[in-house]
Structure 1
């Protein structure tokens, strides 16, 4: 966890086997006032809050990186300029 303007928590959950294991960590509750970044999260997707921004990073055929943003719940319809990218 990094504390700056907004608390930022990054977790790599590729070893977790279930949403229950993820819930036991109570990361969603702990990061309620900040940003929680979940890396390698397919096994825990059922525990992700309804309102979230899914970010995927893919490698293209020419070895470039492609970032895609998928707004979920209340994130839908929000202008991307709010993210200040």
Structure 2
């Protein structure tokens, strides 16, 4: 969901699910990226315009992580609650 903040919600997360195939093996790989805790997380300035204002308030990665841990994994609702009030 961090990519959604960085992209000012231009790039959305896709919801997906897996259907198990008993005849074919499946391999899943997870990739994580974590900037330093003191790094500021905010929409990229190139993606913020008069017509498309910043949807998310700046926060450090530690604040973002704390928010995620406090609120839990709640899908799309979680990212919506990060949005700045207009």
TM-score for both structures, normalised by structure 2: 0.21
Structure number with greater Rg is 2
TM-score for both structures, normalised by structure 1: 0.21
Structure having the higher strand fraction is: 1
Higher-RCO chain (CA-CA 8 Å, sequence separation at least 6): 2
